[in-house]
Structures are given as C-alpha cells and as structure tokens.
Amino acid sequence: MNSNYNIFNNIYSKKISFWKLNISGWFLFGVVWAILYSPADFFASDVLKVFISNFIIPLAITSLLRYLFKQVSLNRFSLAFSITIITTAALVSSVLWYLSDTLFTLLYYDYPISAISQITINSFAKRVTGIFILLALWCASYFIINLFYRWKIEREDKERALYNALKAKMEALKNQINPHFLFNSLNSISAMVDEDPSRAQLIIYELASFLRYTLTYKESSRIELKKEISFIKHYIYIQSIRFEHNLEFFINIDPRTETLMVPPAILYPIVENAVKHGMETSELPLKVYITSFYDKDRITISVKNSGKWVDSIPENSSGTNTGITNVKERLNCEYDNKCSFEIISTDEFVDINLVFFK
C-alpha cells in the first residue's frame, strides 16, 4: 500500500519524469502484447517487429502528441474545444500508428506493397478504433497527471506564501518582546540607580539573563513550559527587587505539564501586565499566581493577580499596549483553533488562562 502511494505521489510531484513514465509504460505494453497476442509459431526474428510495432511506434507518436499539447496550451480554451482537439489528435494519431505499423510490417517481412489492397474497411476500422481507444486513454492519463501536478504546484505555492507571511508575522511579534521588556526594565533601573545602586545592579544582572534567554531561543518556535517558567523567574526577580514587600509571587506548576511545548516568552507579557496594572488597581501587597493544570484533554496555564482589568492604557502610562495583543496574535499564528485565550475579570482579581487542547 505504501509503495503504491509513493509511486502515485512521485508521479504527481514529477519526481518521475514524462520520459521515464512514457518509456516504461510503452515497454510494459509491448511485453504484455507479445505475451498475450503472439502466435503459436512466434519466432525469434519476430521480436524486433513486435518491439518496433508496440513500443517504438507508440512511443514516437505519444511523444509527438505531448509536443502538440504543450504547443497548443489547452488551458486557454474551453473544455469542449479542448476535448475536440484531443479527440481529433488521438484519431489522427491512430491512423498514423496503423499506417506506420502496416508499412513497417510489409517492409520487415518483405511483402509486396500490393498486399495493402487486401486490407478491408472493417479490419481497418476495427484496428484504428482499438488504437484510438488506447491513445484516448493515454491522453486522459497525460492530462489528469498534468492537472494534478499543476494543482499540486499551485497548492504548494499558496502554502509557501502563507508560511512565509506567517513566519514574517511571527518574527515581527517575537521581535516586539525585547524592546517592550527593555523599555519597562530600563524604567525600573533608572528609578533606583541613584536611590539604591546595589538593587539596580541586581536588576541589570537579571536583565542580562533575560536577554541571554531570548538570544538562546530566538530561532525556536516552541520550548518546554519548564524552560519558559525559568525564564519568567528572571522577570519576577527584577520586579521583586523593585517592589519588595508590595509584591508577592506564587508559582505552582503541575509536573505533568512541564513538557508542554509553548512559544518562547509567551507568558512574559501576561505576567508583566498582571504586575503593572495590578499595582495600579490592587490593594498591596499585590499577589500574582502562576499555575498550570492538567486535564485529560487540555492543559491550562493561569496567570492570576489581585487587581482589576484595565481595558485601555492611559496616555501618561509607561506601557506600550502591545503585550496582550502580541500574545493573542502569536497564539493564533501558532495554534489556530487548538488553543484558547480566556480573560476572567471580577472586582477582586483578574485571571488570564491559556488553554492548550490535545
């Protein structure tokens, strides 16, 4: 089954060229014809005749048909007109095959040319009809294979264009992360450089670790959740230094979810959003919970904070308003309908869930 599928696939991907397919097909036809229709008194000298009549002649004629079809470019015409051209070409080719075979037979066996007069209309019509059916099947096979090949090429071109567009979009979204994080982190460093240089130095160290992570996984489309959590801890440490006792983080990751493959830095904008807006809307200390849950058909990652949902960013805010939108766009690109983005908001907390369906 797999072998037949591979041959079928190779034909439509044109790994098997026209010449290989045409030559092998007519060679097989000649062998089958010799086995089934050779007379009982078949001699070795008849091998060449059978070879030429049932291999060389049809091979030459179908090669001419292919040349004709390529020159005419039937896709420019209506279906009815194309069928008329194909039928006419097959009929003319049938007569040409018959005449070529008859003339060669006379010459090969040294019959007089006058023997042609013994050919009856019925025998002529019967033989030409048989050849016509054979060539019509060849034409149908030729155009079906070419149509499928053209369809395959068009499909691959569309898929390649969509992939390139998606890849470019993903790269743009991923490249937004570093400037976004730098913008907020540098604000934090700037605020405490004069006030507490040692704490600012710690933030710079964690910032370097963060950027090292983004460089390490820049070319990766997905990483394990446990590595993503390790990455998020750099951000948590920076914010813990900045806000001290006014910020509390709680992380509870189900071990069964640690191998889940997620886009790199997908949680950072959510956690950053929870801290920034939570600090503006929550009673202190702000509490942020990062958890994961395993279910039989889904894995849920939750980022919950004790604050209120903020729909818009004030003009005087230091945020860039790209974080959550970035996450949604990346999830749509990566997972299509196999992942959902959920926001649960009350007066007491905001809970953002990423649900990955198996």
Summarised one tens digit per residue, pLDDT across range 35-44 is 776 666 666 6
β-strand 261-262 against 223-224: which pairing, if any?
Answer: antiparallel
Q: Listing from the earlier edge strand, what are the strands of the sheet with 247-252?
A: 247-252, 286-294, 298-305, 350-357, 339-345
Contacts of residue 58, Cβ cutoff 8 Å, sequence gap at least 6:
26, 29, 97, 134, 135
Sorting pLDDT into bands at 50, 70 and 90, what band is 229?
A: very high
**Greater model confidence, 115 or 132:** 132
Q: Is 90 exposed, middle or buried (0-12, 13-18, 19+ CB in 10 A)?
A: buried
Q: State the chain's mean pLDDT as an integer.
A: 79
Checking if the pLDDT of 222 tops 60, the result is yes
Token pair 């750099």 in the structure block, residue: 234
User: Which range is most confident: 205-209, 210-214, 233-237, 251-255?
Assistant: 251-255
Q: Which of 295, 278, 287, 302 is nearest to 351 (CA)?
A: 302
Which of 9-13, 150-154, 245-249 is the least confident region?
Answer: 9-13
pLDDT tens per residue, range 95-118: 999 888 888 888 887 778 777 777
Half-sphere exposure of 68 (CA within 13 A, CB side): 17
Domains, the chain: 2-167 (no CATH), 176-357 (3.30.565.10)
pLDDT at 68: 83
**Greater model confidence, 36 or 83:** 83
Task: For 265-295, give the DSSP string.
Answer: TSSHHHHHHHHHHHHHHSPSSEEEEEEEEE-
